[in-house]
Structure 1
Amino acid sequence: MPLGRGGGEGRPPAPAARRSTAPGTRCTRRRRSTTPTRSRPAFNASVTTDGAGHFTLTISDQSRGWSHTQTACLRGASLASAKVIAEAPSSSGGVLPLADFGTVNFSGSTANGASLSSFNPDAITMAGGTTKANPSGISGSGSFSVAWKHS
């Protein structure tokens, strides 16, 4: 189950593996990556669309000097939600145990150029009988954190 902001369908955050293409559509996918170096990570991510079913996901870590861009198509996408999430890893066998990640900070979260906070987002707490991780409140600038509680 996801935690953080937005709906969430319990899907793992695997940008390179999350690709959807409606049957019968023609779309090409491009991948572009740079080589990583060592230091403390600070990720930036964005998803953009042309409104006609073409999406571009870019994730980067300037502190390590790498980036990855993935393009995909989904004709008829509703374009009705935005999510900023931290969630447990999963495999074909289901959700895996949640590692103690401490606290993850999200800053400057936006949707359509406006702070995520302006959309009154729903906070989702990861639980499975016991609270696994808990999101904080969101600031006016779209910043919040998620704190690990239990595996």
Structure 2
Amino acid sequence: MNTRLLTPSADIFAPFGSLIQMPSEKATVSTEFFDYWHNVCDLSSLEMKEPVVGFLRVVKREFVLNKMEKHVLSDEIFIPLTGYGVFSLCPAENDPSKEPDKITHFFIGSESAFLLRKGTWHWAPYPLTDEMRFLIIVDKATVERDIHIVEFETPVRIL
């Protein structure tokens, strides 16, 4: 199954969470040296008991998706720092191993951050560059208690 890549927008990304991007409106504070937009994403409703920051580095590999994971107790934020790649997501209510047509593949770079709502199926992004680096904000207990992985009988070719 070959797929197409979508450019993330707030509407297209809504089934998975929130897209955090530089606003198009005038900056809250501007000088000749910087522009600053305040309160671009309200995190007060973030579902995390003890948020921590992690670091993720992914390297270029074959564009074949054969498993996905989700976290049912916590939201997760991916903040790309370097590189470009493909981020594959599936809504929480679907089983990507049985419904691969429900998986959406996004072209991503460091222009946006991605707040995934709990339950959203995902896997480590696939770099188009040699590697990608991310800051990850997730609940402290996620790695030990909240990783649910499903493996695919038939892998999904992304590109």
Q: Same fold (TM over 0.5)?
A: no
TM-score (norm. length: structure 1): 0.26
- Identify the structure with the greater helix proportion: 2
Higher RCO, 1 or 2 (CA under 8 Å, sep at least 6)?
A: 2
- Identify the structure with the greater strand proportion: 2
TM-score (norm. length: structure 2): 0.25
